[in-house]
Amino acid sequence: MNSAAPDIHDIHPPFQIPQDWRVSVLIGTAVVLALLLAWFGWRWFRARRPQLTLVQRTLLKLDAARPLMDSGDARAFSAAVSDIVRGYVEERFDVHATQRTTSEFLRDLLTQVGSALQAHEQSLSEFLKFCDLAKFARWSLSGEEMRGLLASARHFVESTGVPIPAPNVVVTEAVNVPIRQS
């Protein structure tokens, strides 16, 4: 079978599409504008959302620990409530409370003269020691005792949530400073 025309043709070279640099710039600009619009929209939405106070956030966390109480897991419940209160104390009063034992924390609390926590030292001490008994000594707490523990934590947070008044500064004598005339 000899044919005059070959049945296999050579491939054609790739077709070059002319690229206009303006199309790339237009696409890039659209992507950047979309990202900026999304960022500004997120910031606007976030600014309009009501921000919770420390007390509100802590009370919500305490309410979130309620299922542990309902399930009867005293150890997990007391650990959660204790951690929440310690985190609150740390953030509210600028005191290191989460990485210390209860006795270390209370000892340091007693040495701080004039601390806003000193007024609540007795109730906080009882609360933390009761939590420690359930966490470490594996005391089994009844439902009533766990409700009391939660109520005690809520009362502590609500009673200490009032802003600390600034100390009154009394000026005993005035200092005259000469003013330089130019």
pLDDT of residue 171: 45
pLDDT of residue 182: 46
Burial of 123 (0-12, 13-18, 19+ CB in 10 A): middle
DSSP code, position 150: H
pLDDT of residue 165: 52
pLDDT of residue 60: 92
What is the DSSP secondary-structure string of 48-117?
Answer: HSPPPPHHHHHHHHHHHTHHHHHHT-HHHHHHHHHHHHHHHHHHHH----TTS-HHHHHHHHHHSTT-TT
pLDDT of residue 118: 75
- Asked whether the beta carbons of 81 and 149 are under 8 A apart, the reply is yes
pLDDT of residue 172: 47
pLDDT of residue 81: 92
User: Which residues of the chain are under the pLDDT cut of 50?
Assistant: 166-178, 180, 182
